[in-house]
Amino acid sequence: MKYYVGIDLGGTNIVAGVVDENYNIIATAKTKTNCPRPEKAIADDMAKMALEAVKNAKLTIDDIEWVGIGTPGIANSKTGIIEYSNNLGFNNTPMVKYIQETIDKPVFIENDANAAAYGEYVAGAAKGAKNAVCITLGTGVGGGIIIDGKIYSGSNFAGAEIGHTVIEVDGAECSCGRKGCFEAYSSATGLIRMTKEAISENPDCIMAKMADEKGKVTARTSFDAMRAGDSVAKAVVDKYIKYLAAGITNTINIFQPDILCIGGGVCNEGDPLLLPVKELVKKEVYTRNSPKNAEIVIAKLGNDAGIIGAAFLGRANA
């Protein structure tokens, strides 16, 4: 049996996992990222979590083939440098070098959304596809593209920023500096914003009462209120689904993947989200008359996708 370590570096947590050749996570270790702080300190904790995960798996580092890292930002897989990550405060951080100072193994690095997409490709919802796109609906909208079994990251390692394509010209401001981005409308953050706007305009609606009872508005508020019969909430959900379907249709029109999988907490809504999205995409996609169109599915691996994908980056870079 062969074993690999995958490290999922996030703005909140550092999680390392030991993954076997059958894509099973057999042990993990986790610590807080505690940003902002020096990049070397974060790298040291990443190496520490990797070694701790190996120990928890009752293995030694000699049993590990390689270490893979999924990180936010622009990760140059050729040089091992994180060229830029606004969330972590990294600028030209030699992450592979830092990790290899502690762990004498091959180390591979990739953008976190790309790593998660690769995880879904090798072991999850996109398994068996030749070409796949994975879109993650979280705080932002992450994208990962697999073409002919390889991660596509562009000529400058910043490819797959699907969330920063515009679907509403001069629309809501996005954190990237543009207006009307897919991310501004289809992320959980965008859904929360639209929910708050509807509550402000309709303070007596069921959705407003639910938000008051919970003390906050979440990405589930509009869906929960819709199920309770709130027409205002239904209008929010319909608006959200319309934007999501537009972004997915754009992505399919460009890449024509076998499978497009969507993940993130919003996807826990299941069919009330997925079925209307599929119907809209089916009507709008350019290849609507084709006998074979991209299959839209919910991602299967959840938070494990990043660890599994990172663990198999050595294969992706073979």
Model confidence band, residue 281 (pLDDT cutoffs 50, 70, 90): very high
* 226-260 pLDDT per residue, tens: 999 999 999 999 999 999 999 999 999 999 999 99
Residue 281 contacts residue 290 (beta carbons within 8 Å): no
Instruction: Pick 290 or 260 by higher pLDDT.
Output: 260
* 84-98 pLDDT per residue, tens: 987 788 999 999 999
Model confidence band, residue 315 (pLDDT cutoffs 50, 70, 90): confident
Model confidence band, residue 12 (pLDDT cutoffs 50, 70, 90): confident
Q: What are the domain boundaries of the chain?
A: 3-121+304-316, 130-298
* Domain 3-121+304-316 shares a fold with domain 130-298: yes
Strand pairing report for 141-147 and 132-137: antiparallel
For residue 46, which of 113, 114, 116, 93 has the smallest C-alpha distance?
Answer: 93
Task: Say what the pLDDT of residue 91 is.
Answer: 92
The second-level CATH assignment, the architecture, of 3-121+304-316 is 2-Layer Sandwich (3.30)
**Contact partners, residue 57, CB within 8 Å, separation at least 6:** 3, 18, 26, 27
* 185-232 pLDDT per residue, tens: 999 999 999 999 999 999 999 999 999 999 999 999 999 999 999 999
Three-point CA angle 111, 114, 116, nearest 5°: 110
For residue 270, which of 235, 223, 233 has the smallest C-alpha distance?
Answer: 223
How far is the CA of 43 from the CAs of 49, 50, 101, 115, 242, in angstroms? 10, 11, 10, 18, 41
Prior bond of 72 cis (ω within 30°): no
- Quick one: three-class SS letters along 206-272? HHHHHHHHHCCCCCCHHHHHHHCCCHHHHHHHHHHHHHHHHHHHHHHHHHCCCEEEEECHHHHHCHH
Domain 130-298 sits in which CATH superfamily? ATPase, nucleotide binding domain (3.30.420.40)
For residue 113, which of 43, 183, 62, 49 has the smallest C-alpha distance?
Answer: 183
How far is the CA of 122 from the CAs of 8, 131, 267, 300, 307, in angstroms? 17, 12, 20, 11, 12
Mean pLDDT of 265-287: 93
Task: Say what the pLDDT of residue 316 is.
Answer: 83
* 117-147 pLDDT per residue, tens: 999 999 999 999 999 999 999 888 989 999 9
Mean pLDDT of 93-104: 97
Residue 257 contacts residue 132 (beta carbons within 8 Å): yes
* 23-53 pLDDT per residue, tens: 999 999 999 998 889 999 999 999 999 999 9
Phi/psi of residue 83, each to 5°?
-70, -35
Residue 163 contacts residue 112 (beta carbons within 8 Å): no
Mean pLDDT of 295-316: 94
For residue 192, which of 138, 245, 134 has the smallest C-alpha distance?
Answer: 138
Whether the pLDDT of residue 155 is over 80: the answer is: yes
Residue 267 contacts residue 186 (beta carbons within 8 Å): no
How far is the CA of 160 from the CAs of 33, 88, 200, 254, in angstroms? 25, 19, 35, 12
Distance, in Å, from the CA atom of 19 to the CA atom of 74, rounded to the nearest integer, reads 25
Phi/psi of residue 221, each to 5°?
-55, -50
Model confidence band, residue 318 (pLDDT cutoffs 50, 70, 90): low
